[in-house]
Amino acid sequence: MSTERPVAEVLYEAIRYALNRAQTDPEFRWHMLHTETFERLCAAEAAFTGTPIEVVRDVRGRDLQPEYRKRVPECGVNRGLVRAFELELENLGVDTRAIRTREAGQ
């Protein structure tokens, strides 16, 4: 008797793990939601379960963190701080286009 699990079972477990983290981990959620990766994982779960993708996308897009633990992830806080700093520089007459261009990899 083989102790190895079927490939489909292992794959679905990995899909569920990633989608569960997107619902409960604020840092992971920040980077995952509204991406092609999220869409593909939702499509895969829909295929495994036979659930319409729209339903999977809606359910998996819900934030399931406990209310006491909900917060803006560090990357979101930092992005807000950088933008506030840019606005202050612009108010002082500094041209911040070079900063934004460099961040965009241009």
Euclidean distance between CA atoms 60 and 18, whole angstroms: 10
CB atoms within 10 A of CB 22: 24
**Contacts for 60 with CB less than 8 Å, ≥ 6 apart:** 19, 22, 23, 38, 41, 42, 45
pTM for this entry:
0.66
Euclidean distance between CA atoms 76 and 81, whole angstroms: 9
Contact between 73 and 27 (Cβ < 8 Å): yes
Question: With 70 as the cut, is the pLDDT of residue 100 above it?
Answer: no
Q: For residue 36, what are its two tokens? A: 């092609």
**Contacts for 13 with CB less than 8 Å, ≥ 6 apart:** none
pLDDT in tens, 30-60: 889 899 999 999 999 999 999 999 999 999 9
Residue with more model confidence, 85 or 32:
32
Contact between 48 and 16 (Cβ < 8 Å): no
